Structure 1
Amino acid sequence: MSTARELTLIVVGLPADRAVEPGDLSLALAGAEAADLLAGGRLALDGDRLVPGDGPASDARLLEEAFAALVRRQPRETVEHWLWRRGEGLAEAYATDLRRAGLLVHPHRHGLRLRSAAVEPADSPEYRRARDRLVSGEPVLAGLLALLTAGETTADSGGGSPAPDDSVSTVLAAVGNAVTELEAARLRRDVEEAGFDNIWRG
């Protein structure tokens, strides 16, 4: 299973007090796709620019869509630009994909809301493998989740995870910057809306 699918399952399974914004998750999912493409030899980095490779195809449909979406002309796309472009609506795309596969179900409790319907991970081998990978300290999955949850992973996650390689570190850093930028934009919007409301209240 791709890192992006595993990350979606993990995030949707978080308790309500650790809910992740869909926009933040979308950016992280684009980063997860880039990390998997790097690991599969289908992508390389030239500095911070994405260079498509010729590694073997995967059986993950959305990951194949990501590979097809890579810019193949010069100048190559930066990691940051990829995250914003590829990430648009990506959380909902993965949620839909996992619902169709029976890996997300309507919950008996409230979880992350994507659109109007709350969903939670089904009790499946895929979800258990994702949690096992997270608890093992696998650097990509653990690193992306930490960026989305202010440094937290899981309550039972062990420390001492191996460091990612330089290319993956570049992707993780770009995800962190993008999530921070998106949060700053939300805060500015909230301040502006509060100011607008105060004008009307007089």
Structure 2
Amino acid sequence: MTTARDLSILAAAPDATPVPEQGDLSLALAGAELIDLVALRAVTLDDDRIVPGAPPETGDPLLREAASLLVREEPGETVRDWLWRRGRHLAARYRTALEAEGLLTPARTRRNPFRRARTAPADPPPRHRAAGETAAGPVLAGLLSATGVADAHTTSYAGLTDEQSTVLAGVHGAVTELAGERQRRASEQAAFDNIWRGE
């Protein structure tokens, strides 16, 4: 199980509060993939630039796809650029893949049992294993805090490698940037609505 899959399962848990924004989760998943690629020695980081290496030996199709999309031309791609490029709609892709594998099942709302609101872990063991990984290490905890599921103020980052710290910092920065963009759009929409109402 990859870090991104663990993250998807934990973010989909019924008790995950607040429910993470899909854009935030997508950025965190792209960061999780990059951390796994570093662990597999498929990439190294030169400061904040990604240096591709040999293709990773992994049975995970989404992680293989991520490796195939690495920019190999000089001067390479920054962590920030990777997060935005790879992260586009990535949460939905992981959700679809995990549902197809039976690791996530659609959860139904109480108000409308026919409406799919969010997914939930299909089987307790994968979620419990992922939860154990979170308790054991700071990487998943850091990624969850970026999505808002875990409290950033209580998350311990002790034991992170320099590469993991760089990627997590990039994820948190990208999520903050995305929140600012959401706020800007909401303000513009509110101003537009006020014009139409004559306020």
TM-score normalised by the chain length of structure 1: 0.88
- Determine whether 1:187 maps to 2:183: yes
Q: Given residue 27 of structure 1, which amino acid in structure 2 is its aligned partner?
A: L
**Unaligned residue ranges in structure 1 (runs of 5+):** 111-115
Alpha carbons of structure 1 residues 9 and 46: separation in structure 2 relative to 1, 3 Å: same
**Unaligned residue ranges in structure 2 (runs of 5+):** 111-115
Once the two structures are overlaid, the 10-residue window that deviates more, 122-131 or 28-37, is 122-131
Deviation string, structure 1 residues 110-161 (Cα, Å, up to 9, x no partner): 7xxxxx652111124222210111122x1111111112117528xxxx9766
**Displacement of 1:163 after TM fit?**
2.4
**Displacement of 1:23 after TM fit?**
0.4
> Which of residues 172, 177, 180 is equivalent to 1:176?
172
**Displacement of 1:18 after TM fit?**
0.7
**Displacement of 1:55 after TM fit?**
6.2
> Which of residues 176, 196, 201 is equivalent to 2:192?
196
In structure 1, distance between residues paired with 2:16 and 2:55: 39
In structure 2, distance between residues paired with 1:42 and 1:134: 23
- Equivalent residue number for residue 31 of structure 2: 31
In structure 1, distance between residues paired with 2:52 and 2:38: 9
Deviation string, structure 1 residues 56-88 (Cα, Å, up to 9, x no partner): 411111000000000111120000000000000
Q: Given residue 67 of structure 1, which amino acid in structure 2 is its aligned partner?
A: A
Q: CA RMSD in A?
A: 2.2
- Equivalent residue number for residue 57 of structure 1: 57
- Equivalent residue number for residue 74 of structure 2: 74
- Equivalent residue number for residue 152 of structure 1: 151
- Equivalent residue number for residue 113 of structure 2: none
Aligned residue pairs: how many?
Answer: 193
- Equivalent residue number for residue 113 of structure 1: none
- Determine whether 1:141 maps to 2:140: yes
1:89-128 matches, cutoff 5 A: 89-107=89-107, 109=109, 117-128=117-128
In structure 2, distance between residues paired with 1:15 and 1:195: 36
TM-score normalised by the chain length of structure 2: 0.89
Asked whether the 8 Å contact 1:103–1:124 carries over to 2, the reply is no
Asked whether the 8 Å contact 1:40–1:55 carries over to 2, the reply is no
Asked whether the 8 Å contact 1:30–1:86 carries over to 2, the reply is yes
What is the identity percentage for the equivalent residue pairs of Structure 1 and Structure 2?
48
Q: Which runs of 4+ in 1 moved over 4 A?
A: 158-161
SS at match of 1:178: helix
> Which of residues 146, 164, 172 is equivalent to 2:160?
164
